[in-house]
Amino acid sequence: MIKKRKLQKKSNLSLKQKMVRKMKKLKNSEMEGTFLVDTSALINRKLPKLIKKGLKGKILIPNAVIAELENLANKGNEAGFKGLEEIAKLHKYKELKLKFIGSRPSEHQIKYAKSGEIDAMIRNLAYGQKAVLITSDVVQAKSAEAYGLKVLFVKTKVPKIKNKFLFWHKKILKFV
């Protein structure tokens, strides 16, 4: 039974890895235009790297993303603060024009955020603005592609978990 679970986890990870590898990369000529930023790209601090690689144009930030970041920050979650700091830093780039768009999420959308309601709001804004969606969220990226949106998927490095050992009376207890 344990072996089956391990195999299932490995197959799920490999499926996710395959999905990431199949993501289309934008050409240099597509690095200028209108871009809409997802919460995950802000939290993972990917925009400065993209700007250094030549990203130019209009950056749209949904008010739903601001609401998500504020909610996280109000709960004491560091990710919320990171995302808000990232937005504040974007104002210094001369090659970008920042614009905040869309409405804040309703109670219904907040209640069903884990089911993808806020992600759907973000995709709808990208579609309506004919913008390229910038995200670090694999599910959001694949959903957007399914709707025919252009997506700039920025990978995040997943830290490798190192084995920690605890020595206790000549016995080794392994913690993961």
What is the model's pLDDT at position 26? 53
**What's the rounded mean pLDDT across residues 81-106?**
94
Instruction: For strands 164-168 and 171-175, give the pairing.
Output: antiparallel
**What's the rounded mean pLDDT across residues 141-146?**
95
For residue 159, name the pLDDT band (cuts at 50, 70, 90).
Answer: low
Burial of 65 (0-12, 13-18, 19+ CB in 10 A): buried
Q: Which domains, ranges and CATH numbers included, belong to the chain? A: 29-156 (3.40.50.1010)
Beta bridge partner(s), residue 152: 134
What is the model's pLDDT at position 17? 55
Phi/psi at 161 (5° precision): -85, 120
> What average pLDDT does the chain have?
81
Quick one: angle between helices 138-146 and 2-22, nearest 10? Answer: 50
Closest CA to 50 of 134, 131, 119, 123: 134
- The fraction of the chain above a pLDDT of 70, given in percent, is 72
